[in-house]
Amino acid sequence: MWRATSWNPPYIHLQCGCGKEWGLEDMFFCFPCSKALCPYCVTEEIDSFYCRNCMENMPNTEAFAFKNKCARCFQCPACFSTLQILLNSTRQQKLYHFGCQSCYWDSMSLGLFGNSLNELLMSNQDYFMKDNPLQDQLKILIDTYKEACRNRRKIGVKYLQKETWTFEDLENSVQPKPLINPVQRIEHQSPGFDELLNEDINYNEITSMQQRLSNAGAQPRELNKASAQPIPLLTRRSKRCKYCKKYVVKPETNQSFSNPFKMENLLVYFFPRIYIREIKSNSLILLLINPTAAVAYIRLEGDKVPPSELHLDSYDPVMDLVTSEGSSLDESLIIEREKNTISIEVGKPSNDIWISAFWKFMRGQDVKEFEIKIHIKLA
Ligand SMILES: [Zn+2]
Ligand SMILES: [Zn+2]
Ligand SMILES: [Zn+2]
Ligand SMILES: [Zn+2]
């Protein structure tokens, strides 16, 4: 995942109430608490699952039943793009098979085809179930644990009903449990270095780690043995504030809306973006950009910072218009003002600068105000 938080100086981070530092784009804003929240101060929950190809939404139970994979879409075992189902029709018969439009991988070479769509899907399922020695071992393990689980439940009920334990119960409880036969390790001699060098291998035909793991059942060594895989589902997640339990990010499940989020309170939409424009010998020129749709105010506290409240106008880039203007207590503290951007000078006592910012912005009819610590690290 792309992150704005960088630890290579120079950087500007914000400090969350919990004490951790983050880049602006990684943080959230909770309106009921008037608080900036870091990713550790929000809890995440899965709203629904969806397929990246057919965009079909699936509730949790259905997704679990299909092992978090789409039942209709498949991905190429070589390049992971979505496979097309192709029809090869001759006068005698119709053959359905998978084909990749990007790398021309074709399932016909594996003998994977069907006279109907259903037959193709069934033969694909059979293909990656077959020849897997671990399949049987895993089945034994699952059966044994299921049986043990059932017995424990029975015993539990029996002892709950009885009031006292007898010597016989104690003896029964320490009886050795039936053991699962452990899998015998097959001694395998790894090939030597010379052997590997002399081996006649076409390295373009060997699967990469990613290709092998995406075919988890068979984990084939050669690419021509890997088969089409169902596409893993992605998740839509909502985030809640850890303190008041209200949503800060809520995805839209109805696909007919063009906006993918019902609510998306990222701090970057409400707090000014801050950039370093110039580093002088004992001061810094900072650039502050107001992201909100109304005039906003900032007051800074720290070593040699502008001592009074400054205003940032709002600007609409679509209309190319300053949409609301305010007034600062002392405009002379601003070096330059353009649209929704101001540049100011702050002191540079060391390469580690801490400034407290009090930010006041409009949201509808409400005025929101909060404090956050800015950490500027220069080297
Ligand atoms: Zn935090
Ligand atoms: Zn799908
Ligand atoms: Zn491909
Ligand atoms: Zn909250």
pTM exceeds cut of 0.85: no
**How many whole angstroms from 222 Cα to the centroid of ligand 2?**
27
Residue whose token pair is 């290579």: 8
User: Could you give the CA distance from residue 14 to residue 304 in angstroms, rounded to a whole number?
Assistant: 19
Main-chain phi, psi angles of 117, to 5 degrees: -60, -45
Give pLDDT, residue 161. 63
Ligand positioned closest to the Cα atom of 214: 3
Residues whose Cβ atom is located within 5 A of ion ligand 3: 76, 78-79, 100, 102-103, 105
**How many whole angstroms from 35 Cα to the centroid of ligand 1?**
10
Percent of the chain with pLDDT over 90: 33
Ligand positioned closest to the Cα atom of 42: 1
pLDDT reading at 130 higher than 80: no
Kindly report the CATH class assigned to 272-377: mainly beta
Residue whose token pair is 């506290």: 301
Give pLDDT, residue 155. 63
Q: Which helix (H) or strand (E) element contains residue 167?
A: helix 167-173
Ligand positioned closest to the Cα atom of 30: 4
For 167-218, how does the pLDDT look when each residue is reduced to its tens digit (9 = 90+)? 877 787 777 766 667 767 777 788 888 888 888 878 888 899 999 888 877 7
Q: Where are the domains of the chain?
A: 50-129, 272-377
**How many whole angstroms from 13 Cα to the centroid of ligand 1?**
13
Give pLDDT, residue 154. 67
- Average pLDDT on 296-304 reads 89
**How many whole angstroms from 77 Cα to the centroid of ligand 2?**
16
pLDDT reading at 27 higher than 90: yes
**How many whole angstroms from 116 Cα to the centroid of ligand 1?**
55
For 213-263, how does the pLDDT look when each residue is reduced to its tens digit (9 = 90+)? 888 777 888 888 888 888 999 999 999 999 999 999 999 877 777 778 888
Angle (CA) 4-8-11 rounded to 5° is 60
**How many whole angstroms from 24 Cα to the centroid of ligand 2?**
35
- Average pLDDT on 29-37 reads 93
pLDDT reading at 1 higher than 60: no
The residue that leads in pLDDT, 375 or 363, is 375
Main-chain phi, psi angles of 224, to 5 degrees: -75, 0
Give pLDDT, residue 205. 85
DSSP string, 274-332: EEEEEE-SSEEEEEEE--SSS-EEEEEESTT---S-EEE-EEETTTTEEEE----S-GG
Give pLDDT, residue 163. 63
**How many whole angstroms from 20 Cα to the centroid of ligand 2?**
39
The residue that leads in pLDDT, 179 or 342, is 342
Ligand positioned closest to the Cα atom of 230: 2
**How many whole angstroms from 102 Cα to the centroid of ligand 2?**
18
Give pLDDT, residue 288. 93
The residue that leads in pLDDT, 132 or 254, is 254
